[in-house]
Amino acid sequence: MLVASSVTDSLLSVGLELVWMMAVIDVAGPHRTAQYVAIGATLAGVRGIAGPLVGGLVIHAFGIHAVYLGAAMLTFSGAWLVGHEVRVRVPAPALTP
């Protein structure tokens, strides 16, 4: 059961990573893709360093449930923001040979 769970988690993570990169490439366009990827990688590094530190402070100050509540709020606000941006600004990509 653990192996099946690990394989499923790995496949979903790879799929999510591919979709994320395709979305960045699609939104950025051919001339700004490198800049968008660099910004995303930098912010992922900052998140990886600051996240555990902030999480520890939140656990110490408010308890473990506050971390889950904060994570849920950030997840839903991020999903709303992406959905709003896609609906409002991003035109459909043109097919070019």
- State which amino acid sits at residue 87: R
> What is this structure's pTM?
0.57
Q: What is the pLDDT of residue 81?
A: 84
What are the pLDDT digits (tens) for 8-29? 999 998 988 888 888 888 878 8
Query: What is the pLDDT, as a whole number, of residue 49?
Result: 95
**φ and ψ of 29, to 5 deg:** 85, 170
Helices (H), 29-97: 33-62, 64-88
Place of tokens 């950030």: 74
Structure confidence at residue 95 as a pLDDT band (50, 70, 90):
low
- Identify the pLDDT of residue 86: 66
For the chain, the domains span 2-88
* Other Cβ atoms within 10 Å of 47 Cβ, number: 11
| pLDDT value at residue 97 | 56
What would the pLDDT profile of 31-79 be if each residue is shown by its tens digit? Answer: 888 888 888 889 889 999 999 999 999 999 999 999 999 999 998 998 8
